Chains A and B, each alone.
Chain A
Amino acid sequence: MYISDEKLYEQLKISVRYLLAAIFTAFFGAVYEHFGRGVWSAYMVYAFAVPLVLGALPSMLHAVHMLGALMHEGKAAEISTFTRFAWGTGIAALTAGSIFKGVLDIYGTTNSLTAVYPAIGGSMLAAAAVSVLLNRCRAEETC
């Protein structure tokens, strides 16, 4: 796919959204810990890492790759709408699950239903990964 300014701008917007989500999550965790009377949870403290590591960083790397392609009039792999959606929802589910597990940890309680968050999050990330592979093999006409 040839890269346009518009597509690069769109990719940068996605990166900024993930970055803002990571900042908001870190801020939320810090405020919650502050009022937690010294009780803390790794799930709460490190929840921001999910949108940062799985969202903002890969998204920015892709934007850099697109920028390189734009400058050299080259091609960059297109990420389908479904892939973006599945990856984004996976990150959202994992982040929400981490925050909620942190809340329970700090309160000193448990709920087995919290396993639903990583199950959904992991499934959506896996679906996104499969979708990337399928799109690639379709583009290369190997499947």
Chain B
Amino acid sequence: MKKNRKLRRAWQVFGASLLAFTVFISLDTFVLTRSYQSSAVNMNTSVFEPAETSESVNSADAASSADYSDGNITVTMSEYEYENTAVYVADVQLSSAEYLKTAFAKNTYGKNVTETTSSMAENNNAVLAINGDYYGVQERGYVIRNGVVYRDKAGTYEVLCIFADGSMKVVDPADYTAQELVELGVWQAFSFGPGLVEEGSVAVSENDEVGRAKASNPRTAIGMISPLHYVFVVSDGRTGESEGLSLYQLAQFMRELGVQTAYNLDGGGSSTMVFMGQLINNPTGSGNKIKERAVSDIVYIG
């Protein structure tokens, strides 16, 4: 009898400890806000020179059809219906890659620090913004933003590098350290993926997916037609009006836009595009309801 009581007590202590640890780790993962110091390896910003193959922005031509043009930045918005999915495309031409910027939620690099894409866009006077790679939910994967290394732990996902000369390349993090990437002139690096289009060819198969996600989803992607000429793409999904795209469909769509390189950013409920302060797509940040999700970071033009 006494033995049974002791055993029950031991089980109670163990159960309570397991529960307490699970609560702690849940809070640590989803709730507790933590800001980090960056490794602060800055790139030499004097390298903002367009690559030789870049297209120069012809503001006179672009202005006639562009939705925004200021001499350094030209943005043309389009909407497509592709595979029963609404796809929003921003064609962006820049005079320098320094106009392709990124921002952290609440201007803080950290964990569980989030803000909506539209709020971050407004705070940074962005002409155009899309959600980034939601670095805050991962513990590994290079984070290089505006030429500064914030996280130098290599992850397992392919890394998108946008160079100061305006070119774009998908690299294997096993091949480079974050410092090496900065020395090579990387201005922005994202760790999500996968790379959708590489050297003008679709780089994913029909069965590729992000983790074990559903095949059709809202998506966010960025692609380069030529250095300093990009497309920002966001597709709706999970709604009756818009099915969503598989990675393969998204890659095909990007290739049809004429990109040489394209990369998948955080999708699902995070997928958001904001242009001139207006929400362009229908984000499903709260289940199937149209609502913006708070995310860690944005990619923006401004």
Contact = CB atoms under 8 A, between A and B. Distances in A.
Interface string A30-45: 0000000111111000
Nearest to B270: A108
A81 B28 contact: no
Contact of B14 (A89, A104, A109, A113): A89
B289 interface: no
B29 A104 contact: yes
A112 B139 contact: yes
A71 B3 CA distance: 28
A142 interface: no
A85 B11 contact: yes
A135 to B, nearest CB: 16
Contacts of B240: none
Contacts of B138: 109-110
A112 to B, nearest CB: 6
B18 A92 contact: yes
A78 interface: no
B9 to A, nearest CB: 11
Interface residues of A, number: 26
A interface SS class: helix
Contact residues of B: prevailing secondary structure? helix
Interface in B271-287: 287
Interface string B237-260: 010000000000000000000000
B213 A96 contact: no
B18 A41 contact: no
Interface string B9-24: 0110011001001100
Nearest to B24: A113
Contacts of A112: 139
B138 to A, nearest CB: 6
A109 B139 CA distance: 8
Given A85-B11, A89-B14, A109-B137, A114 B212 contact: no
B31 interface: no
Given A85-B7, A111-B28, A92 B212 contact: no
Given A37-B238, A113-B28, A108 B211 contact: yes
A96 B214 contact: no
B22 A96 contact: yes
B301 to A, nearest CB: 26
Given A100-B26, A109-B30, A109-B138, 15 more contacts: A37-B214, A37-B268, A39-B211, A39-B213, A81-B7, A89-B11, A92-B14, A96-B18, A104-B29, A105-B211, A108-B134, A108-B137, A111-B139, A113-B25, A113-B28
5 contacts: A37-B238, A41-B211, A81-B3, A85-B7, A108-B210
